[in-house]
Each structure stands twice: as structure tokens, then as C-alpha cells.
Chain A
Amino acid sequence: EVQLVESGGGLIQPGRSLRLSCVVSGFMFENYDMHWVRQAPGKGLEWVSGITRSGLSIGYADSVKGRFTISRDNAKKSLYLQMNSVRAEDTALYYCAKDFYGSGEIDVWGKGTTVTVSS
């Protein structure tokens, strides 16, 4: 069974840093691009960042560029999101997501980890 399990969310003060992790199982992690997608309370889905299977190509939404860093460890079957200088508007449910076939479509999602930015 394909599984993506996120962790690392919690309550954090504005301006601080947080690292989200996602451990996967049930598929060849090293063969797939991966993404982080978030949903703020009462809002729609927002693509946050994506990384190719090799880790050599990375993209970010303008809203997080320069503050967030995506990375992966294929040996550990893990995806990460380093969140620096967090803001109240970063409060959201963060999903780890598997790319379908390399064009950005997402066919498998984790259940998400909640990040709350508040003083």
C-alpha cells in the first residue's frame, strides 16, 4: 500500500523556523517527483514547492520563495520542507504529495500535518 506520512507540524511563533518531514512507503520513491501542497483554514489548495526525483530541479510558489527550502533523501525515502521566517499566512494543513508522472499532477497525498503560526 502506498503511504505518505507527514510530521513536524505544530504551533510556532512568527519569524521562527520549522522542518516538515514526509516518510513514504509502498512505491519507488527515487523514481518520482514530489511536492508540498497546503490548505489554509477556509481556503483552497496552494501548491508550495516541488522537487524532481533526482533533487536537481526545484520550484517554489512566489509566496514562499526565499523562505522555504524543499529537499529529499532518496535513501531514507523522505521528503522535507524547511520553513524559515514563518508568517501568520503560512498557517495551514501541509500535504506531502507524489507526482503522477512528472508533469505536476498529484496522484497520492498524505493526510497532512498542521502548522499554526501565532504569537
Chain B
Amino acid sequence: VLTQSPDTLPLSPGETATLSCRASQSVTSTSIAWYHHKPGQPPRLLIYATFARASDIPDRFRGDGSGTDFTLTISRLEPEDFGVYYCQYCDTSPYIFGQGTRLEI
């Protein structure tokens, strides 16, 4: 099980967001992905293998973590960053998602 916190994170443009994803048991250090999901659009891959940014993702997005605790840090928030963020376990099936963190203005 992946548990994300907080459920909702109210912030303003220009601030830094720190999103947490906790696994119910220790996982491979490179087994977490992060996605951004906005209404009416499919999710977008941000981070894969815990640390690596996907194509065209700016360096404001940073993934980190090991063991059971993983974080996504978004610096200098921009208006288009708001929406729901999901972490996903990616090593062996089932590739479960966390319940999501809503980043809102």
C-alpha cells in the first residue's frame, strides 16, 4: 500500500510543495514514479525510477527517497502545477498507485 500525504496541500504560486509517499513495506530504491493529473486530461509522468525526470519535465521537480519514504518536491510553483499528484510503485506487479495529493491554490 502507498499512502500519500497530505490529502490536500494549499499553496501559492512561487512557493515550494513537498509531497510525501509512504510504502507499507520497504521497496527497491528506484521503484517509485510520480504523475500529475489535471481534470479532463490523462495523467502525465513526471518522475520515474524515484529520481529521474521524464522528458520535458523542468528541474523544479525533484524526486527523492528510499526504503518506505519518498518525496516529490516542486519548487517555484507555477499556476499550471496545480492538480492531483500520484505516486506509483513500479517494480513488480501489481503497480499500485497512492490515493493522491491535491495541490490547490
Chain A interface (Cβ within 8 Å of chain B)?
Answer: 35, 37, 44-47, 50, 59-62, 95, 100-101, 103-107, 109-112
B49: Cβ under 8 A from any A Cβ: yes
How many B residues are at the interface, by size bracket? 20 to 34
B9: Cβ under 8 A from any A Cβ: no
Write out the residue numbers on chain B whose beta carbons fall within 8 Å of the beta carbon of A47: 88, 94-97
Instruction: Assess A106 versus B94: contact at CB under 8 Å? Given A44-B84, A45-B37, A47-B88.
Output: no
**Which of A35, A44, A50, A107 is in CB contact (< 8 Å) with B54?**
A107
Write out the residue numbers on chain B whose beta carbons fall within 8 Å of the beta carbon of A110: 42
Chain B interface (Cβ within 8 Å of chain A)?
Answer: 31, 33, 35, 37, 42-43, 45, 48-49, 54-55, 84, 86, 88-100
Write out the residue numbers on chain A whose beta carbons fall within 8 Å of the beta carbon of B92: 104
B95→A50 contact, CB < 8 A: yes
Main secondary structure of the interface of B (DSSP, over half): loop
Write out the residue numbers on chain B whose beta carbons fall within 8 Å of the beta carbon of A111: 42
Query: Closest 9 CB pairs between A and B?
Result: A59-B93, A109-B42, A104-B90, A104-B95, A105-B48, A44-B100, A105-B33, A45-B97, A47-B95
A45→B90 contact, CB < 8 A: no
Write out the residue numbers on chain A whose beta carbons fall within 8 Å of the beta carbon of B98: 44
A107→B86 contact, CB < 8 A: no
| Given contact pairs A45-B43, A45-B88, a sample of 5 additional A-B residue pairs in the complex whose CB atoms are under 8 Å apart | A45-B86, A60-B93, A104-B33, A105-B49, A107-B55
6 A–B contacts, CB within 8 A, in A order: A44-B86, A47-B95, A59-B94, A104-B90, A104-B93, A110-B42
